[in-house]
Structures are given as structure tokens and as C-alpha cells.
Amino acid sequence: MRFKAVKGTRDFYPDRMALRNYLADTWRRVSLRNGFVEFDGPVLEYLDLFSVKSGQEIASQLFSFTDRGGRALAMRPEITPTLARMVNAQINSLPRPIKWFSVPRLFRAENPQKGRLREFFQWNIDIIGSDSVLADAECIFTAIDCLREMGLKPEDVVVRIGSRPLTVAALKRAGVNDSTMEAALAALDKRPKVAPDAFAEIAVAAGIPADSLDELCAFQDCKTIDALNNLDSVFLSKEGNLNAIAHLSDLLQYLDVMGVGDYCRLDFSIVRGLAYYTGIVYEVFDAAGSLRAVAGGGRYDNLLKLFGGPEVGATGFGMGDAVLEILLAEKGKLPDLAGGLDCFVIDGEAGLLDKVLEAVGRLRQGGIAADFSAKRQAVGKQLKEANRRNARYAAILRADGVGVKNLATGEQTNVPIGEFLEKPKAYII
Ligand code: HAM
């Protein structure tokens, strides 16, 4: 019987694993230099943690089951509810603001397609305990800091920034009430992903009055604050809306001053699919807009309170590995991750296996990545293996000394064995 990997999961053969490590290492390095510290939680959580406030879409994509004790559990589809749970449990002892990052393995029972899997990794950056727009700016800056380090430029990726409170206000004006607001937001979130007719159907089914759709679309299509003001100055002049606009303009100004303004643009069609967002929201896309979102996030000031904690400001984003990998490949930005050995040790004469083993042992203990052939065979064959293993040097042992060969240039230095083993780093540079 032959088994296949489960639908929507990936086998990480060494070359794929090297890529996964490259993404995770870069995420960690960028997080640390932006002042975030790492946390993680369990893969399994109580089902309720996700059904309370993640929203319908995620709830319908949960891998969930009842354990032998009758408990309803789920494999985490995101880590934000876990973060809120963990912070709430120690809220009085954690110094604020809390700047935490994580690289969790997540599970969503989505229909697998380009950039969407059932098991994936997601970099999370969150700041809890700050109501200031500066915290939103810091999170967005950190996302861009990473993308820029990976070689992506403003012509490759764009952060599209919208506002949940303004979108809610526009929906309220359209006649949507609180009880259907969540469904209406989820419908609006679908607009960029479906044809206009299909959107109209989804919107009306979610309780958005059909005769308000044009006005809502005109709001979503404004690309600047001025355009919004020209379209509807009465709407903008309402107090809550003025605040939301002030937050957006402060955010854009901070991002400009931090040197990443070129990557960012206003886009009121960004709503976010998750139900818990309360403020500025954003998604990162490839500039051509041909792929799904690379990252998404925003402010979620009510989530900790909803989970029984205090009212405390929170903001952050998640960036998945799948779309990012596709984008880096498309832009030719995947690094050469071939890796390899520092030195391949070869017995150049019969009867030298002990010397080979001694040399390999000494080199490895000295921090040099070294290996040797499992078979005693001709030097030419062993050199071939050294090349196949991507070794930088070959050390060819003979009774009267070692030939240390640079495999890139072909240059060879001959040294006494004792001297080579004493100071291998003088030769393996
Ligand atoms: P999200 O928009 O559900 O947000 O996911 C964020 C990113 O994770 C997406 O833009 C995408 O790159 C990746 N992603 C999501 N689903 C999949 C999938 N099935 N396969 C591959 N990649 C996927 C959240 O998860 C929020 N919890 C983020 C957040 C953190 N908000 C505040 N803090």
C-alpha cells in the first residue's frame, strides 16, 4: 500500500526545508531588530476560542474534533486568539506595551489552491497595550522591513490600508444594523475577489440594501482622503469618522517619516475577513494584484475584553509563507540555499580509513562541516561525491601528508597531516 501526503499539506524535503528555514530565520531576525520577543502556544485549543470572535469564515474552516474526554477541540487556524488568551492570563505582570512575535504552524480546512493550503506557517507581529497609531505604524514598518530585506521593492509589493470604523459607518448609513453588521462586513470583504454581479448577490444576501450598493462602492473606491471628502463631506464630518480619518493620516505620515511610505497606499476596499478588527486594517499584496494577500492585519481593541480580560488596545498582522514564497520566486528573489559541506575527507591511499575518521572527528569538533565517503573507492570517485555534496574543500589524505584542494578554483596546498589537524581553519577558509 502506498500513502500520499494529506490534501493541502506539504512534505518538507531538504531543499524545501532550507527555504522554510530561510523565511523563518528572516522573520525572526527582523522581529528581534524591531524590538519584538518570541512566544508560542499549543497547536490544540478549545473550539470555543475560535468560534467566539474569529468570524464565520474561519469557523467554517476549522479542523475540529471531540477528544476522548468529550472536549470540543480545534487545531489552531490562527494564533491571535491564543495570544489574547495568554496575555489575559498574565495581564497584571506583563510590562506593557507587549511586543510579541510568533511563527506558528496553522491549519485551515480551505480548498487548497495557489497560495492557500490546509497546513501553513504564518509570521505574527503584535503589540498589545497601546492605543496609539504609532503601534500600527510599527507593525506595518516591521512587515515592510522584512519584505525589503528579502529584496522586494515598492514596485513589487504594496500595503493597502483601510479603516474598519469608516467601513462600519458607511454600512450603517446604508441601513445595515448591528445584528447584521458582521455578515455585511464579510460580504464587503469579498468584493475585490468576485465579479460585480456575484458581489451584489452576496451583499444583498448579507442584508445590505441593494439601492445602497453604488454609494458603498463609491466609498470603497476612494483612493485618497481628499477623494473621500469630495465624495461625501457630510459623512466625513461626523465625529467618529473624523477620528478615523485623523488616525489614517497620522499613520501615513509616520510611515513616510520611517522611510517606507512608498510601499503604502490608502484603500477603503480593505475590510478584512476576521470579525475582531476595530480600527486601521491592512493587507499586503503583490503590486500586480495577481496573487492572494501575502499578509493581513489591523487593530483589534476588543478581543482581550471579549475573552474576559481588560479593555486594552491591540494591533498586529499575520504573514503566510505560501504566497510569500510564490511572490519571491516570481520576482527572482529566492536566495541560493544549496548549502553544503566545508570539507570532504578522502583517503588517497588504501589503509588510511583510521586517519580519515580521525580527521573527520577533529574537523567536526572544530566546528567545520565535514563528511567522508561510506565506500573505500578511487580518489576520482570520492572527489565526484565531494562535488555532489557541495563541499568547498577536499582533504586528500596520503601517508606522507594532506592535499587540501579548493574545489571552486582547483588550487591545492600540501601540508603534513599533523599540521592540518592542528590548525584546519588555516586551510579551510
Ligand atoms: P489572515 O488574513 O487570516 O489573518 O491571515 C494572514 C495571512 O496568512 C494571509 O494574508 C495569508 O498570507 C496567510 N494565510 C491565511 N490562510 C492561509 C492558508 N489557508 N494557506 C496559506 N496561507 C494562508 C490572520 O490570521 C490574523 N490572525 C492576523 C493577525 C495577527 N491580525 C492581528 N494579529
Share of the chain above pLDDT 70, in %: 99
pLDDT attached to residue 267: 96
pLDDT tens for 271-294 read 998 889 999 999 999 999 999 999
Strand ranges of the sheet holding 412-415, from the earlier edge strand across to the other edge:
370-372, 343-347, 393-398, 401-406, 412-415
Q: Are 45 and 81 in contact (CB under 8 A)?
A: yes
Q: Which fold has domain 14-41+79-330?
A: BirA Bifunctional Protein; domain 2 (3.30.930)
> Among 60, 75, 78, which is best to mutate for testing ligand 1, by the most ligand atoms less than 8 A from CB?
78
Grid coordinates given for 240: 467618529
Longest CA–CA separation in the chain, Å: 92
Buried b (16+ CB within 10 A) or exposed e, 217-237: bebbebeeeeebeeebeebbe
Gap from CA of 116 to ligand 1 centroid (Å): 10
Minimal-distance CA residue to ligand 1 atom 18: 116
110 lines ligand 1 (CB under 6 A): yes
pLDDT tens for 47-101 read 999 987 666 777 789 999 999 999 999 999 999 999 999 999 999 999 999 999 9
pTM: 0.94
Minimal-distance CA residue to ligand 1 atom 11: 320
Confidence of residue 230 (pLDDT cuts 50, 70, 90): confident
Enumerate the CATH 3.40.50.800 domain ranges in the chain, comma separated: 343-426
Strand-strand pairing, 119-128 and 105-107: antiparallel
Atom of ligand 1 nearest to the CA of 110: 19
Rounded Cα gap, residues 42 and 3, in angstroms:
28
Rounded Cα gap, residues 147 and 23, in angstroms:
10
Gap from CA of 296 to ligand 1 centroid (Å): 6
Enumerate the CATH 3.30.930.10 domain ranges in the chain, comma separated: 14-41+79-330
CA atoms within 13 A on the CB side of 302: 10
pLDDT attached to residue 53: 67
Gap from CA of 109 to ligand 1 centroid (Å): 13
87 lines ligand 1 (CB under 6 A): no
361: nearest Cα among 428, 426, 424, 405: 424
Gap from CA of 231 to ligand 1 centroid (Å): 32
Atom of ligand 1 nearest to the CA of 319: 7
Q: Which fold has domain 343-426?
A: Rossmann fold (3.40.50)
293 lines ligand 1 (CB under 6 A): yes
pLDDT tens for 337-393 read 988 899 999 999 999 999 999 999 999 999 999 999 999 999 999 999 999 999 999
Gap from CA of 367 to ligand 1 centroid (Å): 39
pLDDT tens for 40-49 read 999 999 999 9
Atom of ligand 1 nearest to the CA of 273: 2
Gap from CA of 353 to ligand 1 centroid (Å): 53
Burial of 402 (0-12, 13-18, 19+ CB in 10 A): buried
